[in-house]
Homo-oligomer: A and B are copies of this chain.
Amino acid sequence: MNAPTPLTRLVPEIHQREVPAALIAALKTHFGERCSTALVVREQHGRDESSFQAPPPAAVVFAESTADVALAVALAAEHAVPVIPFGVGSSLEGHLLAVQGGISIDVSRMNKVLHIHAEDLTVTVQPGVTRKQLNEEIKSTGLFFPIDPGADASLGGMAATRASGTNAVRYGTMRENVLALEVVTANGSVIRTGTRARKSSAGYDLTRLFVGSEGTLGVITEVTLRLYPLPEAISAAVCSFPSIEAAVRSTIQIIQLGIPIARVELIDANTVRMVNAHSKLGLREEPMLLMEFHGSPTGVKEQAEQVQDIASEHGGNAFEWASTPEERTRLWTARHNAYFAAVQSRPGCRAISTDTCVPISRLADCLIDSVAEADASGLPYFLVGHVGDGNFHFGYLLDPNDPRERATAEALNHKLVARALALEGTCTGEHGVGLHKMGFLVDEAGVGAVDMMRTLKRALDPGNIMNPGKIFSMPG
């Protein structure tokens, strides 16, 4: 047995719609070599960082402009063929899989930073610009874009999945930081949502309707984002704790007191062991918090002192501080390499990542029981978390050829999600629903709310061609 649990268990409506030769011919006519039907290209665009599998799209169009995207969508609409937008392929829940066939529109060549308005703390980019590229290109302005989901994701993709990451506790998520969008709709027309004003009450919030819509309502072709002044002072610290609970209780207190911490990341002892093995860091193999403080020199000092007091009360020790960029990079290595270190700790394994997020006071309850369950399962795992937001990820490391391990991981995830929902949390803090969490979404939002999402989808995409089969099923 070579494939993981069949996708059909998760996506009842999977079926490949026909892609007429006439559409491929039209795309080739218009896009020439920028429309590829080579298997290797199609396969590369038919998967993401999830462990799902589906046949690849029938063709890949490399768009270089909004007009390209609009044309490709209009042609696809004419032939009632699905369209799947592709950025860098870093999504985690099967968002990019052509479960109903169709064509992939790759926007990675739409990678220009279009307008830097440093004086307004805004920037407008094409969707293929990655977050690292953006921060590189705006370096000279003294501003930065804080949202850091780990992967060097495209900003279009980050908007489409409502991504966040390590800095969200202070700076918010894509929900808070996208000011405006340009979108190609399901009939190939182009609309703009929002303006560069910081706030607005001008009609329905179309911007936030598209942020998090996972390509199911349209293709994002421009993103206007908020930027922030680089803090005058940045200080980072790691602190080890006698238990996950102690680390989490410290975090809860930091948040409840309103300390404006910029990052507070949990790394469990498993992960520290894996990262030590991978990167020779020699870190204490105990649960730890990685923290970062942004502000004025005195503000940072004050925050750091408060946090040190809180951590000490919970048995935190071995505070290690870093103020220069180089020292900070070294400390953050543990967090940034966690995923790869974990995957390499079990050669040939695949990681299945959970993504629950709960109100901060419920975090300890949610985590402790789930850790006990994971330990009891015998499945190797790592645990990292944006704990300041109540969001954390178990990464279950499973043998993709062993369906029992897959089943164990899915069972653990089910219990975790059920627990998070009972604690008034969400099944996905930042990864999105994709294919994997369609059932969980119904548990979380209720049939009525999911039906409302279907109604919106039907209204904006009557032919169900925009990344169909994701977020929810569309019966009939």
Contacts of A173 in B (CB 8 A): 199
Instruction: Pick the contact of A357: B193, B200, B427 (CB < 8 A).
Output: B200
Nearest CB in chain B to that of A457: its residue: B204
Q: Cβ of A209 < 8 Å from any Cβ of B?
A: yes
Contacts of A437 in B (CB 8 A): 202
Tell me which of A197, A426, A458 has the highest count of chain B C-beta atoms within 10 A of its own C-beta.
Answer: A197
Answer whether residue A205 sits at the interface, using C-beta atoms and an 8 A cutoff.
Answer: yes
How many identical chains are in the complex? 2
- In contact, B390 and A202 (Cβ under 8 angstroms): no
Q: How far is the CA of A202 from the CA of B201 in the complex (A)?
A: 24
B residues in contact with A212, CB < 8 Å: 201, 203-205
**CB-defined interface of A188-201 with B at 8 Å, one 1/0 digit per residue?**
01111101111111
Contacts of A175 in B (CB 8 A): 199, 205, 208
A140 to chain B, nearest CB (A): 15
- A472 at the binding interface (Cβ < 8 Å): yes
Measured between beta carbons, the chain B residues less than 8 angstroms from A162 are 199-201, 205
Task: List B contacts of A211 (CB < 8 A).
Answer: 205
CB distance from A433 to the nearest CB of B (A): 6
Q: Are B164 and A256 in contact (CB under 8 A)?
A: no
If the complex has contacts A209-B209, A302-B298, are A198 and B360 also in contact, measured as CB distance less than 8 A?
yes
Q: Is A449 an interface residue (CB 8 A)?
A: yes
Give complex CA distance A159, B43 in Å.
45
Contacts of A268 in B (CB 8 A): none
Q: Mark A214-249, 1 if CB is under 8 A from B, else 0.
A: 000100000000001101000000000000000000
Q: Give the contacting residue for A359; candidates B117, B201, B217, B431; CB below 8 A.
A: B117
Q: In the complex, are the beta carbons of A198 and B389 less than 8 A apart?
A: yes
Residues of B within 8 A of A292 (CB): none
**Interface pair B444/A202, CB less than 8 Å apart:** yes
In the complex, chain B residues whose CB is within 8 Å of the CB of A185: 448, 452
Chain B contacts for A425, CB-based, 8 A: 195-197
Q: Which residue of B lies closest to A440 (CB)?
A: B202
A190: which B residues are within 8 A, CB to CB? 448
Q: B-facing mask of A410-430, CB < 8 A → 1, else 0?
A: 000000000001001111111
Task: Determine if A471 is an interface residue (Cβ-Cβ < 8 Å).
Answer: yes
Once the chains bind, are B452 and A199 in contact (CB under 8 Å)?
no
Residues facing B in A439-453 (CB within 8 A) are 440-441, 444-446, 448-450, 452-453
Whether the pair B449, A201 counts as a contact (CB closer than 8 A) is no
Contact B359 A196, beta carbon cutoff 8 Å: yes
Q: Does A257 contact B (CB under 8 A)?
A: yes
Determine if A203 and B446 form an interchain contact, defined as CB atoms under 8 angstroms apart.
no
Q: How far is the CA of A164 from the CA of B202 in the complex (A)?
A: 13
A407 CB–B CB distance under 8 Å:
no
Instruction: Kindly state whether residue A409 has any CB partner on chain B within 8 Å.
Output: no
Give A225 Cβ to nearest chain B Cβ, in Å. 13
Does B424 contact A196, Cβ atoms closer than 8 Å?
Answer: yes
* Complex: A164 Cα to B213 Cα, angstroms: 26
Whether B448 and A201, one on each chain, are in contact in the complex, defined by CB atoms closer than 8 angstroms, is no
* The one of B197, B358, B446 that contacts A424, using a Cβ cutoff of 8 Å: B197
Are A359 and B122 closer than 8 Å at their CB atoms?
yes
- A217 partner residues in chain B, CB cutoff 8 A: 204
- Complex: how many Å from CA A375 to CA B60? 59
Distance between A444 CB and nearest chain B CB, rounded to angstroms: 6
Determine whether A168 belongs to the interface, using a CB cutoff of 8 Å to chain B: yes
A377 within 8 A of B: no
Q: A209-B208, A298-B302, A458-B459 are in contact. Are A202 and B441 (CB under 8 A)?
A: yes
Closest CB in chain B relative to A88 CB, distance in Å: 18
Contacts of A258 in B (CB 8 A): 228-229, 231
Contacts of A66 on B, CB cut-off 8 Å?
none
Q: Would you give the 0/1 interface string for A117-132, flagging 1 where the beta carbon is closer than 8 Å to chain B?
A: 1011110000000000
> Which interface residue of A189, A426, A431 has the most chain B CB atoms within 10 A?
A426
The distance in angstroms between the C-alpha atoms of A270 and B413, with both chains bound, is 63
> What would 10 A/B residue contacts be, using CB atoms closer than 8 Å?
A117-B359, A119-B361, A190-B448, A191-B448, A191-B452, A192-B449, A195-B444, A196-B425, A203-B450, A456-B460
A-B pairs, top 8 by smallest CB distance, nearest first, are A459-B459, A229-B258, A119-B361, A208-B208, A120-B359, A200-B426, A191-B448, A196-B424
